[in-house]
Amino acid sequence: MKNLLFVIVLFVGTLSFAQQYDSLFIRKIYDKALSENPAYENLRYLCKNIGQRISGSAAAQQAVEWSLRLMDSYGFDKAYLQPVMVPYWKRGTKEEGWYKTASGEIFKVNMLALGGSVGTNGTLEGDVVEFKTLESLKNASKAQVENKIVFVNEPMNAKNINTFESYDEGFAVRAFSALAAGKLGALAVVIRSVGLPIDDHPHTGAMYYNDSVKKIPAAALSTRDAENLSALLKKQKVKFIMRMDCQDMGMVPSFNVIAEIKGSVAPNKIITVGGHIDSWDTGEGAHDDGAGLMHSLEALSILKSLGYKPKHTLRVVFFMNEENGNNGGKSYAKLAKENNEEHIAAVESDAGGFVPRGFHCDGAVEKVNFLKSLAPIFKPYELHVFEKGYGGVDINPLKQQFESIALFGFIPDSQRYFDVHHSPNDVFENINKRELELGCAAMASLLYLIDLNF
């Protein structure tokens, strides 16, 4: 009995010492991130010297080359490019849109073509028919829609506390309105931007066609223009006029950008941390996903600078083409399997650079429980979300190749994200330096704890 009691006391004491050591090291991570962190200036360079980075573009290639030079400068064990084929869609000449009243009054709108849309082949004009929801459009008759320009005015749900829940609910409006309207013979479709604020910044994003349905032009109006158009339609008939010169350039070569620190105990086991280097071609891709790149790069760099020797190989990946195809994520997972690599965990930051709130885990029960067990360690840093949830678009294909892998998603505060998401408002000026640095610290701390405990 005494021996058993001694073992229990020894175990508890050892566990307590380990937790104390973890806490001390994480304090060092935060100290480093908040005092000696180049993330903010690196993000400034990416946004201001390179700018938007839609996959396949010359700007995306400049971002690839800059990222590789940056990773090389950090002195990691290895930095390299991974070839990947990506779709290249060009917005072309800036799109233009107006609506015109029965009396001939004309109002210019703030409008963006949705990613992947076909062009209008000149100027397109037609009567507007409004639908309050995508579902009501799907249930409409051909007579209601044929040869008209469909306006889907479905607002994002403001009642959810977590705005990503509202985005998950509203994503389909952007993705499938062109398909629904095209089936009924519409000339084009314009949607209310998927965003919460009432402002002048239209939001773009990926949408989908089906080869069996005629492809029609698709665009998003700013929420303020959507409100104004809807109010006018209650009083009279309105025509919509639009011009878009979008082009599908097919598949072109590009790259994922990768760097790693070799593991000291199990170098064949890999933990990935990353975000996506491509962005939409409006704004500068500061929050989506320049911030995620900086979180991921600095997570690795901070551990290296503190002299930490990882057990497993730690790999940072700047994925290409998350926004309109995810070919970077798919190629990374496929090549990992073909190269007989063993991937045990992955962490992604792709929800903006706002103040950290915690992490989600997509994995087995024991992996979710591991994440939940970290709550006391992160409490001093005001993180509180540690629960089962989605990892991220870029790392999700790893599940198909490595069934037991645990995927972790960085969760920042969501309240302001859809002020900037996929819009001209996603610029460096809307990044808060301290919040970005706190995100770097949170990512580095989780990466350290995963490496230590897996």
Q: Does pLDDT of 132 surpass 60?
A: yes
DSSP codes joined into one string, 95-109: PEEEEEETT--EEE-
Residue-level pLDDT at 7: 35
For residue 137, what are the CA distances in angstroms to 153, 163, 181, 212, 298? Answer: 10, 25, 7, 19, 46
Q: Sketch the domain layout of the chain as residue ranges.
A: 28-89+250-453, 92-245
Through-space distance between the first and last CA atoms of the chain, rounded to whole angstroms: 32
Beta strand ranges found along 222-332 (DSSP E): 238-243, 247-261, 266-276, 312-319
The hierarchical CATH code for the domain 28-89+250-453 is: 3.40.630.10
Kindly tell me if the per-residue pLDDT of 6 is higher than 50: no
Lowest mean pLDDT among 18-27, 75-84, 91-100: 18-27
The angle, 0 to 180 degrees and rounded to 10, between the axes of the packed helices 2-35 and 433-453 is 150
pLDDT digits (tens, 9 = 90+) for 214-223: 999 999 999 9
43 vs 381: CA distance, rounded Å: 23
* pLDDT score for 296: 98
Predicted confidence band at 3 (pLDDT cuts at 50, 70, 90)?
low
Q: What is the pLDDT of residues 238-275, one digit of tens each?
A: 999 999 999 999 999 999 999 999 999 999 999 999 99
How do residues 277-324 score in pLDDT, each as one tens digit?
999 999 999 999 999 999 999 999 999 999 999 999 999 999 999 999
Which long-range contacts does 9-18 make (Cβ < 8 Å, 24+ apart)? Answer: none
The residue ranking higher by pLDDT, 402 or 18, is 402
332-377 pLDDT, tens digit per residue, is 999 999 999 999 999 999 999 999 999 999 999 999 999 999 999 9
pLDDT at site 22:
87
Q: Is 69 helix (H, G, I), strand (E, B) or coil?
A: helix
Both tokens assigned to 377: 């360690």
Which class does domain 92-245 fall in?
Answer: alpha beta
Other CB atoms within a 10 A radius of the CB of residue 13 amount to 10
What does the pLDDT look like over 85-104, one tens digit per residue? 999 999 999 999 999 999 99
- Predicted local distance difference test score (pLDDT) of residue 11: 37
Helix (H) or strand (E) holding 128: strand 123-131
Calculate what percentage of the chain has a pLDDT beyond 90.
Answer: 95
